[in-house]
Amino acid sequence: MKPIVILAAALYALALSGPALAQSEEEFVKAFAGDWDVFDDAYAVDGAHCRISLSDTAVDGGYALTVTSCALELGMLTSWRIIDNQLGLVADDTVVAALGGNQRRMSGDSNIGAPVILDRAGETGLIDQITKAREASGCYYLGFTTTCVDESQLAKPAIAPDGSPARIGVLVNLNVRAEARDDAEVLGVVPANSCIVTEACATAVDGVWCKARFDDTPGWLKKLALRQERWPVVTFVNQCQVAPQ
C-alpha cells in the first residue's frame, strides 16, 4: 500500500513520545487527574458514553480511578499509573492501555490492539468550530464541493458482512497523523480519490478517526475538517468504488 507521501522518519519517532507537559510525577498527576470521556460506542453501556475519572489519590503501584458506563476492557479498570511518561490504564496488575497526548486528549491502543481515545470532560474546543460552521452553512460538504452529504456519513464505517476491514474513499488531500489527535505529527498525505483499507475506526468528541497502515507504518485520518476556517467538510466517505491502494 503506497498512497502516502512519507515524511522524515524522525517525525514518527517524535510522534510516539508521551505527554511533554508534565515534568515530574506530581506535575503529571496534577495535569491529568480529573474526568475523561470515551465517545466511541464500542465502550458505551446502554447508550451512555464511557467516563473514566482519574484520581490523584495514590494506591498500590499508581493512582485510583473510577469508571462509569464503560464496557469491555475499560469497564475492568482499577487504577492508573505513569509509564515512560505516558498514562497507563490498569486492570488489576495488567496495563490495558498506554496513552500519549495532552490535557485535552489522550490516545493510543489497548493491549488487544483496539483504539482508545480519551477526551477531557467538558472540553469542546476540538469540535466547537466545526459545529458552529455546520450551523451556519446548514450541512457538511462532500470534500471540497458544494454538495451536502447525508449525515449518515458522519458515522464510523462499518466492517463488511464477511468480516473484512472497512474501506473508505478519501475525498481530499488528507494529512496522516501518528495518533488520533490534531497535535500529533503529520507522517504524510493521502491523495484525493484514494481508496484506503482501514485497520480500525473510533469516534472522539471531534468525530470519526480511522487508522490504516502505509508501508507498514500506522497512521490516522480525521473525517471532519474545516475548509478555509469556514466550510465544514467530510474528508472521506464510508465506501469506495476503486480498488484499494
Interval 105-134: pLDDT, tens: 999 999 999 999 999 999 887 788 999 999
Is residue 110 a part of any domain in this protein? Answer: yes
Using an 8 Å Cβ cutoff, are 189 and 172 in contact?
Answer: no
What is the pLDDT, as a whole number, of residue 21?
A: 45
The answer to whether residues 108 and 22 belong to one domain is yes
Question: What is the Cα Rg of the chain in Å?
Answer: 18
Closest by CA position to 47, among listed 64, 72, 71, 28: 71
Q: What is the CATH number of the domain that holds 45?
A: 2.40.128.10
The partner residues of 120 in beta bridges, in order of sequence, read 36
pLDDT for residue 9 is more than 90: no
Mean pLDDT of 199-225: 95
The answer to whether residues 217 and 134 belong to one domain is yes
Sheet holding 5-6, edge to edge: 5-6, 186-190, 174-177, 217-222, 207-214, 195-204, 167-170, 236-237
The answer to whether residues 36 and 79 belong to one domain is yes
The answer to whether residues 115 and 85 belong to one domain is yes
Q: What is the CATH number of the domain that holds 131?
A: 2.30.30.40
Helix (H, G, I), strand (E, B) or coil at 106: strand
Confidence band for 241, pLDDT divided at 50, 70 and 90: low
What is the pLDDT, as a whole number, of residue 16?
A: 36
Domain of 144, in residue numbers? 5-12+125-237
pTM: 0.87
The answer to whether residues 69 and 41 belong to one domain is yes
Is residue 98 a part of any domain in this protein? Answer: yes
Last residue within a domain, chosen from 120, 136, 151: 120
Task: Decide the pairing of beta strands 141-142 and 231-234.
Answer: parallel
Closest by CA position to 73, among listed 23, 108, 121, 31: 108
Last residue within a domain, chosen from 120, 151, 176: 120
